[in-house]
Amino acid sequence: MEHERVLVLDFGGQYNQLIARRVRDLKVYCDLKPCDMTIEEIKAYDPIGIIFTGGPNSVYDETSPHVPKEIFSLGIPVLGICYGCQLIAYTLGGTVAHAETSEYGKREIVKRKENVILQDVPEKSISWMSHTDYVSKVPEGFSIVADTAAGTCPVAIMADDARRIYGLQFHPEVVHSEYGNQMLKNFLYEVCKAKGDWTMSNFVAEQVAKIKEKVGDKKVLCAMSGGVDSAVAATLIYKAVGNQLTCVFVDHGLLRKYEAEQVMSVFKDGLGMNLIKADEAENFLTRLEGVSDPETKRKIIGEEFIRAFERIAKSIGKVNYLVQGTIYPDVIESGKGKSAVIKSHHNVGGLPSVVDFDEIIEPLRDLFKDEVRKVGFELGLPADVVERQPFPGPGLAIRIMGEVTREKLETLRDADYIFRDEIAKAGLNKEIWQYFAVITNSPTVGVMGDFRTYENVIALRAVTSVDAMTADWARIPYDVLEKISVRIVNEVKHANRIVYDITSKPPATIEWE
C-alpha cells in the first residue's frame, strides 16, 4: 500500500521533530527532510502537502536557508511555521521586520477573519511564540487571518486560499498552543484532503508482508536487548517468518540489576521465543578498560555487539539477516544529511563498517517511540513489556562518566535499583517516561560515622516525555527524593552525595552521555 505523504522541510528549529510527530498522530504519514531538497526531488516525493518548519535564522541573512519560488507553483498546499511563515512572506514579496524584543512564550491570538485553518477554533486562544523577526506586510493575495491581542504580532496567521498557502507565526506543534493540533488537522484534512491512512495496524500488516517477501526461506538473527524497541522488532519479525528467527540476548555486563534474569523470563519462558543468551560481559568490559570518551565507548559497544552476533550466527549455521530495533530518534540524533550528530547510537552511528550478514533489517527505523509502543499493542505484547521505560543499548556504560569499572558498575546497579524501586512504590512509574541513576566523574568529600569519605557524586535523572525528542524534568515530590537519597547513601557502597538533575531536553539530552 502506498501511503499519502506530507513533506516536512527542516529549517533547523528545535521543535521540528514534534511537527512530524503531530502529523503522524493525525494519521498522515510524513518525512522530515532537509530544506535544500530540489524541486525535482520534491516532485518525485509526490506529497499531498508541504510544511516549512521553524528555524533560528533571519530570512535577510544571506547564509540562511531559502526555497526556490517555484515551490509555490507546484499546486501543492504549503504551511509555514514561524521561520517558515516568514520565508513564505519574504519569497512571495511581503515584508519581514525585526522586532526590538524577541517574543517568546504564551500569547493570546485573535481571529480576525473566518478561514479554513481556524475551523473549530474559538475567536481567542493561546499559542506559543518563539521569534524575533515577524511578518509586517503580507504578500499580494494573502489576507491576515489572526493577530495577537497585545498587538505585538500583527500577522499571527496569514492565508492565500486560492493557492492554498498558509503561514503561522507561532508553533502549533507544541502543547502550549491550545488549538495548534486542530489547526494542523485543518491543514491536513481540509486543505490537503488527507484520508488518514497511516495507522499502526496498517503498518504491521505492511511490514509483515514486506519481511516475508524479503526473507523468503532464509534465516534471521535478532538482536534482543529486552527493551521495548528490540522486543517489538523481534515480535514483528516472528509474526512474519516464525521459526526462521533466532533471537540472541547479549549480556554485555552493562545491564541493570536483575535485568538478564527478567529478559529470559519474559521473552523465552513467557512469550515462547527462540531466545539464546550469550554471556559476553568479559569481552565488553575488557574492551572498555581505560576508555573514558563517550563516543568511543558507544562505538566499541556497537562493534562488540555485531561481532558477538556474527560468532553466534556461525554457530547456528548460515544466517542471512540481522534484525535491530533502531527507531527514528536514534537515526536523527546520530546525524542525518546535514543534521548535527548529537550522539552516535550504538546501533546507528556506532556500527562497524564491515558486517558479516547479507543485510540488516530495521523494521522500526521510521517510527517514533510512542508509535513503537502502539505497534507492540497491535502485536499483542503485554503492557509490562510495551510500557517499559527506555534503556539504552550501551547500557550502564553511558551512565558511568569516565572509565567503566566493575566497582562503579556494582555501585550504579544498586543505586539505580533503589531509585526505580522507590519510584514504583510511590506510584510514579507510569507518570515518568524514564528514570535512572548516573555515576559522575566528580568525587566529593563526605563523612560517615567518624570517617572521611571521598566518592563520586551519584546523580538521579527523571523525565517526562511523549516521544523522547523533547523532555521535561520530572517533579518528584521531595519526600520521595528524600527516601531515595537516604536509602542509597545507607545501602550502597561508595555513595556519599546524591544530586537531582533538573534540566530539560533541550538543552540537555535525556542520557548524560
Nearest to 327 by CA among 229, 211, 394: 229
Q: Are 250 and 313 in contact (CB under 8 A)?
A: no
Among the listed residues 4, 103, 173, 303, the single catalytic one is 173
Whether residue 82 lies in the annotated active site: yes
Among the listed residues 35, 153, 171, 280, the single catalytic one is 171
Q: What share of the chain is helix, strand, coil (3-state, %, to 5)?
A: 35, 25, 40
**Secondary structure (H, E, C), 136-169:** EECCCCCEEEEEECCCCCCCCEEEECCCCEEEEC
Whether residue 85 lies in the annotated active site: no
Nearest to 158 by CA among 59, 210, 80, 253: 80
Could you give the residue ranges of the DSSP H alpha helices within 111-226?
180-185, 200-215
Nearest to 225 by CA among 261, 247, 249, 257: 249
Give dist(CA 348, CA 364) in Å, integer: 13
Spell 470-493 as b/e; 16+ CB within 10 A means b: bbebbebeeeebebbbebbbeebe
| Residue whose grid cell is 505484547 | 381
Among the listed residues 35, 82, 192, 247, the single catalytic one is 82
Give dist(CA 133, CA 119) in Å, integer: 27
Active site residues: 82, 171, 173
